[in-house]
Structure 1
Amino acid sequence: MHTDFERCVRAVQAKDTRFDGVFFTAVKTTRIYCRPGCPVVPPKPRNMEFYASAAACQQAGFRACKRCRPDTSPGSPEWNRRADLTARAMRLIGDGVVDRDGVPGLARLLGYSERQIERQLLAELGAGPLALARAQRAQTARLLVETTGMPMADIAFAAGFSSVRAFNDTVREVYALTPSELRTRAPHGRTSTPGALTLRLPFRTPLNPDNLFGHLAATGVPGVEEWRDGAYRRTLRLPYGHGIVSLTPGPDHIGCRLVLTDQRDLTVAISRCRRMLDLDADPVAVDDRLRTDPLLAPLVDKAPGRRVPRTVDEAEFAVRAVLGQQVSTAAARTHAARLVLAHGDPVEDPEGGLTHLFPSPDALASLDPESLALPRSRRTTLLTLVRQLADGELTLGPESDWDEARARLAELPGFGPWTVEAIAMRALGDPDAFLPTDLGMRRAAQQLGLPHTPVALTARAAAWRPWRAYATQYLWATDDHPINFLPA
C-alpha cells in the first residue's frame, strides 16, 4: 500500500481512518509523521512521503504527530492475514520476543538467519527488527508515562529499555517531548490501584461485539474467565508474571483495564488482547468480499464488522478444543474447569471471581489419565497433545506456519478436520480457516439456501477466500445460541 503514492495521497486527503496503521504519512517540511486519518489540514502531495511502519518513519528522522498520535493506530491487518516470514516476525516482535531474547531469539523461533530476517523486514517495512522493537518500546513507555504514577526509572525498564538514558533519548526523539512533559500533557487521570493500567484499544470500524464477546463469555472457563459488569475478564499467563484483564466493548474503542504482577509484561498483554479480539482486522475489506455472495450479503448488511474470537494462549485453546470434541458448550466448560481446579496456578482477584491461570502444557503432561472424565480415546488425544506441546515437538504460537501446524496436528490421534480447523481459526489466527463439517455451519447453510454438504459448501466457499473464518462467524450468527449475544 505505501508504495502506491496516488492511492495514499487520496486516503490522506479524505482523512480515511481505515488506513490508520496500514501506512504512515511523513511530511518533509515539518519532519512530522501522521496517521492517514489525522484531523489537521493535509499537506501538499509534493511534501508527503509514505512508510509502512512507524519505525521506518523514526529511522528517517521524523517525529510522531502530537495531534493524531500515530503510534496508537490499530496494527496493520497484513500481519493477521499472512503466514510468511515477515508476518510471523511482526507477530513475534509484537509479542515482545526481541525485547526478551534479542534478534537471535527471533531468528531461532523463525528458523531463519538473522541476516535473512533483517533483509526481509528492511525490504518490506523499511526497518529491521531492532528498530521495530524500539518503536514498540517507545509506545509502551508512553502508555506507562501517561497512565500510571510509576517513577520514570521503573518505566524505562518495564518498557524494555536497557537504561534510563536510552529511554529518555528515545522518547525525546520519537515524541519531541521529555518523559516528564508527556506526563504533564496526559489528558487522563492516572490509576491509583497498584499494578493497574487503564487504556483504550483502537480498532477499525465497524466492529460488531455480539458474537465476539458473546462467544468468549458463553464458552468461558469458570475461574479463568468471567463476564462481570459489562466486561469480559480473564487471567493471563505472561512471560514475567501473570495478569488479569477486563475488556469492555465501546463504539470506537475497547476499554482495557490490566492488572499485572510485572509491568514488563504490558506490551505482550496488550498484543495478546488485541489478537484475541481481532482488533487489527480490516472489516471493510472482509465484508466487501463476503457481500459478493448474494446469500451472505443480507447477513453482512444486517450486522457488519463481525470479528473472529481468538485466544490469548494458543496451547490453552488447543487443549480446550480437544475437551470440546462432540460435546456441548456446557460440558466442555465443565471438563476445562476440572483441569483448572486440579492443575491451574491460583491467582488473587480482589475485583472479581477469577481464581486460576489455565494450566500450562508442562503441568498437564504428567496428569493421570484415569483422573479424566473422558472417553479413553479422547484421553489419549489430550495427553498426546499436551506432551508434544510440553516437549516442544509441536508449537502453536505467533511463529507458527499455518500449513505446517495443520499438518502436525492432523498427525495426532483423534484430530480430525473440525479440531484442526478450529485451532487454525481461533489459535493460529488464519482468517481463511473453515469448518464445513461443523453442525452449526451446515444447519445455517441449509437455512440460507447454501449447499450444506461439506464438499459442496467448501466449493461454494471458494469465492469467500481469504476470509472464510469471517464467513463462518456470519453463518454461526444465524443460530439462537448464547455465543451470538452479549450477556445481559
Structure 2
Amino acid sequence: MTPSGHLDTDACYRAVQSRDRRFDGVFYTAVRTTGIYCRPSCPARTPAPANVTFHATAASAHAAGYRACKRCLPDATPGSPEWDVAADVAGRAMRLIADGLVDREGVDGLARRVGYTPRHLGRLLTQELGATPLALARARRAQTARILLETTDLAVTDVAFAAGFASVRQFNETVREVYDASPSLLRGRRRSPRDGRPSGSLAMRLAVRTPFAGGRLLDFLAYHLVPGVEVAAPACYARTLDLPHGPGTVRLRLEDLPPAAGTGFVEAEFWLADLRDTAAASERVRRLLDADCDPGAVDAHLGADPVLGELVRATPGLRVPGQVDGDETAVRTVIGQQVSVTGARTVAGRIVAAHGHPVDSPVPGLTHLFPDAATLAGVDPETLPMPRARGRALVGLASALARGEVVLDRGPDRDDVRRALLALPGIGPWTADYVAMRALGHPDVFLPTDLAVRRVLSGLAAGGSEPDPHSWRPWRSYALMHLWNPLMPPTPTPDNHPAAAPRPAKET
C-alpha cells in the first residue's frame, strides 16, 4: 500500500500547487528531500511531484519518518470533514482517539467501542489512514503537548501527563521525533505571555475552517442554555464539563470569522480538575463548535439551491451545534419534546438543581454538572417536572444509556444507534434524528415534521420555488440550521453578565 492510500495523488498535488487552504487537515504533504511534512497551504516553495507523497493523517507521516514543518504547523488544523460525512469505522475511531480513549482504555477498549477485534481494527486503520491506533493516539498526544508547551506555564512534567503520555521519557522522545525540537525549545517559541490569566486556567486556540458564523452559533447555544450548566453573554459562552477524570469548565469567545483566513481559531479557556482531561476537554468542545466542518463545500452546495440560496448567502459558515456529552444531549431532547424552548430550559434547570452534581467553577452562574445517566435512571418519573409519559420516557432513556444499550460517543454505527433509540418507549423519529444530528455529528439529517421547519418552508414555497430537501444531501443538517436561523433570537446583552470576561491572550 502506498502512503497515499485512497487519496487521489494528482488532485492532492493540484491543491498543493494552489496552496488551497480548504484541504488543510484533509491530507498532508510529505517531502522526501527535506524529511518534513506540511499542510497543503504551506507557503514554502512547492516541491517537485517526484519528491512528495500524501498522507491521510499526520500519524501516517510520522510513521513514514517525517517531521512536522515548523513554518506551517501542519498538526494545528481542523480534522477531516470526511470523518463525519462517511461515518465509517475509520472516522468513528478517529473521533474516539481524539477524545483520549486509547490513553484511558487502550486499543482493546477502542476496538470494543467500534465493534471490531483489535487486530482487524489495526489493519483497517492502517489501510484507510496509514497508521495504527497507537500511532494515531501518539500523534494526538504530541499535538496536545505542543499546544500546552507553547501556550501555558505548566511545568514540563505536568504537560507530559496532561497530554496523555505514560512517562516523561516517552514524552521527550516523541516531541523530539515529531517536531525535531526539545520540549524546552518548543516552550521558548511561545508567541504571547499569559497576560494575567487566572492561575489554573489553560488557554487554547481551537482551529476551525472559515467562514465561521460564531455569532449565530452563540445565539443558538444561548437560546437553549440550561441554568446552572451554561451561561452566555455577547461573544462569550461558558459551561461545565463532565470529563473522564473530574469536572471542568470552559469559556469560549464566539465571534464571526471571515473566509479569507482559511483556518481560523476560537479562543477557549479551560479549568480542569485533572490535567489528564486536557485532550478530552478540547475535543469535546471542538465537537460543540462543529470545528471540522468544511463550510466552503456546504455553502457552495446549498447556496446554489433556488430556495435556500438567499439564506445561505446571508449567513456563510453556519454550523450545526454539536455537544460535549451525548447522553446530556439525548436527555435534553426528551425534555424538550412538545414544549417551547423556554419551557424546556426551565424544566431542565429544575432537574439540574435537583439531581446535578454541584461544582465549584470560576465562572459565576455555573453551579452544577448536568446529571449523568446513572443518576437519572434512579429517579422516580412521578417526581419529574413534566407529564408522566415523558418522565417515564426520560428515565427509560437514562436507564438504556447507563446500561450501555445506547451509546452516544460517536463510536457505534449511526443506524444502529437510531434503531436502539426508536426501540425505547416514548422516543420517536424526530427525537432520534435530532440526537443523531447533534450528538453523533450527522451532517445529513432532516426533520420534515418539525413545526418551525414546516412554517419556514411554506413561506419559501410561497415565493415561487418548491423546496426539494432531497437535493440538499449530504448537508441536510446544515439546511435545517439555515431554516431555523431566522427564527433564532440574538443573545441577550445584560450588563455585567457572569459569562463576560476580558479577552484571553492570543495563543497558537
Q: Distance in 1 between matches of 2:63 and 2:88?
A: 24
Q: Distance in 1 between matches of 2:361 and 2:233?
A: 13
Q: Distance in 2 between matches of 1:476 and 1:100?
A: 38
Q: Distance in 2 between matches of 1:352 and 1:119?
A: 48
Match of 2:501 in 1: none
Amino acid across the alignment from 1:351 = V
| Counterpart secondary structure, 1:340 | helix
Post-superposition offset of 1:303 = 1.6
Amino acid across the alignment from 2:454 = R
Q: Distance in 2 between matches of 1:400 and 1:337?
A: 30
Match of 1:65 in 2: 69
Checking the alignment, whether the CA contact within 8 Å between 1:277 and 1:309 is kept in structure 2 is yes
| Counterpart secondary structure, 1:185 | coil
Picking from 283, 289, 294, the partner of 2:306 is 294
- Per mean C-alpha deviation after superposition, the further-off stretch among 205-214 and 312-321 is 205-214
| Counterpart secondary structure, 2:445 | coil
Checking the alignment, whether the CA contact within 8 Å between 1:211 and 1:473 is kept in structure 2 is no
Q: Distance in 2 between matches of 1:267 and 1:450?
A: 48
| Counterpart secondary structure, 2:13 | helix
Matches within 5 A, 1:179-198: 179-190=183-194, 193-198=198-203
Distance 1:208 1:486, change over 3 A: farther
Checking the alignment, whether the CA contact within 8 Å between 1:204 and 1:279 is kept in structure 2 is yes
Match of 1:116 in 2: 120
Q: What are the Cα deviations for residues 144-173 of structure 1, in whole angstroms up to 9, with x where unaligned?
A: 211222221222122111111110010001
Match of 1:435 in 2: 447
Post-superposition offset of 1:210 = 3.5
| Counterpart secondary structure, 1:399 | coil
Checking the alignment, whether the CA contact within 8 Å between 1:21 and 1:76 is kept in structure 2 is yes
Q: Distance in 1 between matches of 2:254 and 2:486?
A: 22
Picking from 75, 95, 98, the partner of 2:99 is 95
Matches within 5 A, 1:326-337: 326-337=338-349
Q: What are the Cα deviations for residues 38-62 of structure 1, in whole angstroms up to 9, with x where unaligned?
A: 1222222222211111001111111
Picking from 399, 402, 406, the partner of 1:387 is 399
Match of 1:43 in 2: 47
Picking from 78, 83, 86, the partner of 2:87 is 83
TM-score w.r.t. the length of structure 2 is 0.91
Amino acid across the alignment from 2:368 = H
Match of 2:140 in 1: 136
Match of 1:469 in 2: 477
Match of 2:504 in 1: none
Picking from 146, 153, 159, the partner of 1:155 is 159
| Counterpart secondary structure, 1:38 | coil
Distance 1:450 1:16, change over 3 A: farther
Q: Distance in 2 between matches of 1:352 and 1:297?
A: 41
| Counterpart secondary structure, 2:337 | coil
Match of 1:258 in 2: 270
Picking from 292, 295, 316, the partner of 1:283 is 295
Q: Distance in 2 between matches of 1:175 and 1:10?
A: 27
| Counterpart secondary structure, 1:86 | helix
Q: Which sections of structure 2, spanning at least 5 residues, go unmatched?
A: 258-263, 494-508
Checking the alignment, whether the CA contact within 8 Å between 2:93 and 2:114 is kept in structure 1 is yes
Q: Distance in 1 between matches of 2:479 and 2:210?
A: 18
* Residue 240 (1) aligns with residue 245 (2): yes
Q: Distance in 1 between matches of 2:362 and 2:95?
A: 32
Q: What are the Cα deviations for residues 332-384 of structure 1, in whole angstroms up to 9, with x where unaligned?
A: 01111111111111111233220000000111111122221211111111111
* Aligned length in residues: 480
| Counterpart secondary structure, 1:70 | coil
Distance 1:74 1:359, change over 3 A: same
Amino acid across the alignment from 1:80 = D
Q: What are the Cα deviations for residues 56-96 of structure 1, in whole angstroms up to 9, with x where unaligned?
A: 11111111111111111111111122222111111111111
Q: Distance in 2 between matches of 1:176 and 1:441?
A: 53
Match of 1:412 in 2: 424
Q: Distance in 1 between matches of 2:74 and 2:450?
A: 41
Q: Distance in 1 between matches of 2:408 and 2:50?
A: 46
Q: Distance in 2 between matches of 1:95 and 1:350?
A: 24
Q: Which sections of structure 1, spanning at least 5 residues, go unmatched?
A: none
| Counterpart secondary structure, 2:209 | coil
Post-superposition offset of 1:450 = 7.3
Distance 1:50 1:450, change over 3 A: farther
Match of 2:215 in 1: 210
Match of 1:8 in 2: 12
Post-superposition offset of 1:448 = 0.6
Q: Distance in 2 between matches of 1:64 and 1:35?
A: 9
Amino acid across the alignment from 1:471 = A
TM-score w.r.t. the length of structure 1 is 0.95
Checking the alignment, whether the CA contact within 8 Å between 1:238 and 1:269 is kept in structure 2 is yes
| Counterpart secondary structure, 1:310 | coil
Q: Distance in 2 between matches of 1:85 and 1:451?
A: 43
Q: Percent of pairs identical after alignment?
A: 53
